[in-house]
Amino acid sequence: MSLLDLLMGVLLLLTGFLAVRLKNAVHAALALAANFVLVGVVYMLLEARFLGWIQIIVYAGAIMVLFVFVIMLLYAAQAEVGADPLPALRPVAAGVGAVGFLALAFAFSGAKAPLASKAAAAALAGGTAHALGPVVWQTWLYAVLLVAALLLVATVAAVTVLRPGEGGGR
């Protein structure tokens, strides 16, 4: 492990922590965008240039534009995060989170780490789309689908909880 690996790990943890703990929604979104860019840099350092650029373009670009649009649409940028609007649902949220974690752990348990050996790293050919396609859509298919479903549910839940009026949280 090099000093650069350690630095990237610390920066990823810091931006992830800030994305969760900042009270202003726009500041939290900026910390999340920084985290997405750092993940893209880590991919590039691991010689997966295609995946790194896709991470930066899709997540740090397009997905963050969507998040900021939703924040502005819901007026969440003007108000700071306060008390939990639905405290009775905390046990339900913990249960759903535990089931989601177990589902992701099950999905990732059957896949071998693609960079576990020099031969596996050479087979990925620097992270080109042609080399990554079979890995993502065969070996990691269930994990990709679970993450996509998790992002969709999180977006719908955020819109439902933060929607002003109509029984929403504000």
CATH code at 1-81: 1.20.120.1200
- pLDDT score for 15: 92
Q: Which long-range contacts (CB under 8 A, 24 or more apart) does 68-71 make?
A: 68/26, 68/29, 70/155, 70/158, 70/159, 71/25, 71/26, 71/29
Alpha carbons 96 and 59: distance in angstroms, whole number:
25
Alpha carbons 16 and 102: distance in angstroms, whole number:
21
- The length of the chain, given as a count of residues: 170
Region(s) of the chain under CATH 1.20.120.1200 = 1-81
Are 143 and 113 within 8 A, CB to CB? no
pLDDT in tens, 18-49: 988 888 878 888 898 899 999 999 988 887 88
For residue 77, name the pLDDT band (cuts at 50, 70, 90): very low
- pLDDT score for 17: 92
pLDDT in tens, 43-66: 888 878 888 888 888 887 877 777
